[in-house]
Amino acid sequence: MNKINTLKIKDLPVFPDILLNLNRVLHSKSVTIDTVNTIIERDPALTAKILKLANSSYYGLSYMVGTLKKAITVLGFNTIRNLAVTVSVSGIFTANTSRSVDVQKLWHHSIGCAIASKSLLTGKNPLIQEKAFMGGILHDIGKIIILLNFPEDTKKIIEKIRGNKLLTESEAERELLGFDHADLGSFIAEKWHFPKELACSISLHHNPEQFPSFTGKLENREEAELLVYTIYTGNQIAKAMALGTSSDPLVSNINPTAWQKLGITEKDLPSVILKIKENFKEVIDSWNM
């Protein structure tokens, strides 16, 4: 992480003040619908986009919500924050073009990881399901920042991994930059005031087995570990099902510990996979991102 600080990354994507405020108030236990409504409504374009996403078939509401306040009431603070972040992060991804990385497909891969991660936790606490969705949306944000700051190195990284199927993107990034996109993404998540366990799951999304040696301060280590294994598995499944395209698209055998931590058995897996496929199609068709 020190290397990231010393490199003085110049171009950090602008994370709207509205979302920083939202992240701050959602840390508080006394947050109200009116507070969240007032913060988001300052941006009419963002409000309109949130309503469009909230009314998509992915959320399966039995009636159409016409106001933000109603959407917050029906879907909850964390889903609304997720939608606001999804809209903003979509802008960060799609505002960048590159010859070495297909940014649109990488963004769809992030959506795929978010959907897969949330689906893996079906039946669990809705709050952790929403954190898993957010983790999927943000897990590769470090790649975009590397692309913005080091376009020539990005080209070399992609050439290296295409030339050597055994080399991962993280390994190539470390060789060239001294850190990888997971380190950088975690650093950004903290800077943008996301919960610590989310930053941890971004940091370990390729190496969940390293969780026991994670020294950062976490409120609930058990929940953080579940989130780490969820984002890791969601990422691998998104690659395996070709939901979008990662710049490092090959799948590693999913660590058997992940299925145990998630409580997913051979009996459950087929329906989970089918649900992910259907949800991804629904979202891509109706969100137009």
Partner 1 sequence: MKIISIEEITEDMVIAQDIYSSSSQRLVAKGTVVSDSLKKSLLRYNITRVPVEEARKKRVFSKEEVEKAEEAIKEEVLRRFRGFPSDSMNILLFNEILRIEAREKLDSE
Residues lying near partner 1 in the complex (CB under 8 A) are found at: 52, 55-58, 60-64, 165, 237, 239-242, 249-254, 256, 259, 266, 269-270, 273-274, 277-278, 281-282, 285-286, 288
Residue matched to tokens 């009431």? 73
Minimum CB distance to partner 1, residue 1 (Å): 30
Nearer to partner 1, 159 or 285 (CB): 285
Our CB check for partner 1 shows the closer of 101 and 224 to be 101
Rounded Cα gap, residues 267 and 6, in angstroms: 49
Question: Three-state SS for 67?
Answer: coil
CB of 2 to partner 1, least distance (A): 33
Cα radius of gyration rounded to whole Å, the chain: 18
By beta-carbon proximity to partner 1, the closer residue of 29 and 165 is 165
Instruction: Closer to partner 1 by CB, 188 or 226: give it.
Output: 226
CA dihedral 62, 46, 118, 220 (to 10 degrees): -120
33 versus 241: smaller Cβ distance to partner 1: 241
Q: Within 10 A of 212 (CB to CB), how many other CB atoms are there?
A: 7
Integer Cα distance of 253 and 146 in angstroms: 27
Q: To the nearest whole angstrom, how small is the minimum distance from the Cβ of residue 243 to partner 1?
A: 11
Smallest separation, CB 147 to partner 1 (Å): 23
Cα distance from N-terminal residue to C-terminal residue, the chain: 32
